């Protein structure tokens, strides 16, 4: 490939085709294989599912049946060396690619955990014709376009071969690097990490700690500014009525997970600091107040949504609900400020005893 590039060169059309194939096949894995089928985080029109099935096969990561079965097993047994198909506890390179190069997984081909997917005729068709789809999308289509463009081998090398290698390693980085490098703002129950840099190259999959804690959420980047093209694709297709029933964690659930995680880290710090009983009591008191207000706020929001759906809210009720919401927003803001001031003070005194995020 470099030799061809040095002596012949690649033109703009070939590079554009490389990026087009890269995005279409990559999003078919993240939006289709992963968030639609492995996690059932939303529903999609048959045309979308067919597109995902064809271009997901172009990524040569096996049929949806194998991929989703392994991935569900990964989430259920994450970090378990014998049951997690690509456990990072067996080493970075094992999680990255080693688990594929050798037949380590005794459960490969056991589809007992994807009975729901086996009823989908599109997935049945993809599984049956997987090899043909791989050959058509990775050999036939790039060669045909290259022939029509007048640069057969250059088009094939970029849109076919290089794109395939890049796609593979970007997916593999989620299994390896996203369990090694980054923060754990939501849970320390497993090795998954949030890595915003990795999200830039993996269509938004880098927010992995969030994903493991809220795996049913169609988003990996839950904030609007998080770079998550897969999330934007899924959401935008709702406007065309191509996707629906998008599942997501509530703001209450997200905030509570973050506060719980911070509380546990702070307790860890205090365990290594002598004569801190007063601080411990203050921390617990502040935590309980924060959680109580957050719970009240979450219930108020849920009541508001239910009232909207039932169309029962009168003008006076609506005003009362809004005033209550403003009050709770203010209390949350105060509690959040006090909470972070207390945490920052603990961190300042803890020094190196603070555990990694």
Rounded to an integer, the average pLDDT of 215-242 is 97
Rounded to an integer, the average pLDDT of 339-351 is 67
Confidence grade of residue 55 (pLDDT, cut at 50, 70, 90): very high
Alpha carbons 240 and 238: distance in angstroms, whole number: 5
Q: Per-residue b/e over 22-36, b at no fewer than 16 CB within 10 Å?
A: bbbbbbbbbbbbbbb
Between 244 and 260, the more confident residue is: 244
Q: What is the separation of C-alpha 14 from the centre of its chain, rounded to a whole number of angstroms? A: 30
Contact 40, 116 (CB under 8 A): yes
Three-state secondary-structure class, residue 44:
strand
Q: What is the pLDDT of residue 352?
A: 46
Q: pLDDT for 297-333, tens place per residue?
A: 777 776 555 555 555 454 445 656 566 667 777 677 7
Q: What is the pLDDT of residue 307?
A: 53
Q: What is the pLDDT of residue 10?
A: 87
Q: pLDDT for 161-174, tens place per residue?
A: 999 999 999 999 99
Q: Inform me whether the pLDDT recorded for 132 exceeds 50.
A: yes
The DSSP letter of residue 194 is B
Between 273 and 74, the more confident residue is: 74
């Amino acid at each position: 490939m470099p030799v061809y590039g040095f002596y012949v060169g690649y033109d703009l059309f070939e590079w554009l085709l490389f990026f087009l194939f890269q995005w279409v096949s990559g999003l078919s894995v993240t939006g289709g294989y992963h968030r639609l089928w492995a996690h059932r985080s939303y529903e999609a029109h048959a045309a979308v599912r067919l597109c995902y099935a064809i271009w997901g096969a172009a990524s040569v990561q096996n049929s949806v049946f194998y991929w989703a079965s392994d991935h569900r097993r990964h989430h259920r047994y994450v970090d378990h060396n014998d049951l997690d198909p690509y456990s990072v506890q067996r080493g970075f390179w094992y999680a990255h690619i080693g688990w594929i190069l050798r037949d380590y997984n005794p459960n490969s081909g056991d589809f007992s955990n994807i009975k729901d997917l086996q009823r989908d005729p599109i997935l049945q068709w993809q599984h049956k014709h997987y090899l043909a789809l791989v050959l058509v999308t990775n050999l036939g289509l790039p060669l045909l376009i290259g022939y029509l463009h007048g640069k057969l081998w250059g088009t094939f090398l970029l849109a076919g071969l290089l794109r395939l290698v890049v796609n593979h390693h970007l997916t593999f980085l989620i299994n390896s690097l996203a369990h090694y490098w980054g923060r754990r703002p939501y849970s320390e129950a497993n090795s998954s990490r949030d890595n915003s840099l990795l999200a830039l190259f993996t269509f938004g999959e880098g927010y992995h700690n969030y994903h493991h804690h809220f795996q049913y959420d169609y988003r990996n980047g839950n904030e609007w500014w998080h770079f998550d093209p897969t999330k934007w694709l899924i959401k935008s297709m709702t406007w065309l009525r191509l996707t629906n029933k998008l599942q997501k964690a509530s703001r209450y659930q997200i905030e509570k997970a973050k506060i719980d995680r911070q509380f546990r880290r702070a307790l860890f710090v205090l365990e290594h600091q002598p004569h801190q009983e007063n601080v411990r009591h203050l921390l617990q008191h502040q935590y309980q107040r924060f959680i109580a207000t957050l719970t009240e706020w979450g219930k108020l929001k849920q009541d508001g949504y239910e009232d909207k759906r039932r169309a029962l809210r009168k003008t006076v009720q609506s005003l009362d609900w809004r005033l209550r919401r403003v009050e709770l927003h203010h209390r949350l803001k105060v509690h959040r400020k006090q909470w972070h001031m207390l945490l920052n003070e603990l961190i300042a005194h803890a020094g190196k005893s603070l555990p990694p995020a």
